[in-house]
Amino acid sequence: MKIKDYFLSQETFEVKPSKHKGILQTFPQPSEKDLPKYYDSPKYISHQTQAKSFKDKIYQKVKSFMIDKKKKMVLKHHQQGNILDIGAGTGEFLDAFDHSLWTKFSIEPSKKLQSNLSKKGINLVNDLEQFDGQSFEVITLWHSLEHIPDLELTVKQLRRILKPNGVLFIAVPNHKSYDAQYYDKYWVAWDVPRHLWHFSKLGMTSIFSKHNFNCIKDRGMFFDAFYVSMLSTQYQPKSNLLTAFWVASLSNLKAWFNKEYSSIIYVFKPSSNLNDI
């Protein structure tokens, strides 16, 4: 499928099956040198600290609500320890945790955001290879895994640095959702070439089980269908917010039965087999 980068470059890319079962890949994949230019826009919403437009305000409201939900998910498993957030953005998620109980780490490639994270008392690290002897009770990737070039190496490194009783939380878009099927090439969550990988439930469980993770739970992100549909309809020749609301509602209704939500949070724990580490 050929997908246009409607957000920024207007370039066309191709999304097709990767070598990983159930996972699609963006082709061509921009080089490490070229990739940052596809994020270089004041409109890139995950890098914003202030809401400007109506859709930005909706995003920030939902974001605040979801930070609280995500925090509660984490605290069900661990109340203190080392926590790593990969792709921390503006840092609100890590900032929600008690500084006296948690040692916070972040991998955030955006130079513009790194100073802000440091001011929040978050330890900045360039990549996972820098962790030598350091391990974590909690690792989170909230809509970050799809941006990482070397997918399999990343999964392997996550397994290496997660403690035996640790928990890994990952949220990614689901290309098997109804809203993805409805909007087709206009589905905003393709987000090429920033999204290098496109996941299904099969793809996520397959690649993580390969590296000795057990998926103990997955849960749909209800609000994502509405936000994704609202943005996707703007890429269509005729924009219609009422249709977007209907598509999102139908997507969530269908997902109630088939569990194919627009985005899904996966909760992984290490399995006992450590042979590939």
Residue 152's H or E segment, with its range, is helix 151-161
DSSP β-ladder status, 197-199 and 213-220:
unpaired
Query: Which residue's structure tokens are 């590296």?
Result: 211
Domain contains 127: yes
Domain contains 83: yes
Domain of residue 118: give its range. 2-27+53-270
Q: Give the pLDDT confidence of 97-136 residue by residue, as tens digits.
A: 999 999 999 999 888 888 889 888 899 999 999 998 899 9
Domain contains 136: yes
Neighbour count for residue 229 (Cβ, 10 Å): 26
Specify the length of the chain in residues.
Answer: 277
Mean pLDDT of the chain: 92
Domain contains 47: no
Task: Check which CATH number belongs to the domain holding 224 and give it.
Answer: 3.40.50.150
Domain count, the chain: 1
Domain contains 85: yes
pLDDT of residue 94: 96
Enumerate residues 6+ apart whose C-beta is below 8 A from 111.
none
Domain contains 74: yes
Q: What is the pTM of this model?
A: 0.92
Q: Are 251 and 182 spatial neighbours (Cβ–Cβ below 8 Å)?
A: yes
Facing residues of 199 across strands? 23, 174
Band the pLDDT of 174: cuts 50, 70, 90.
Answer: very high
Question: Would you say residue 19 has pLDDT above 90?
Answer: yes
Domain contains 252: yes
Domain contains 206: yes
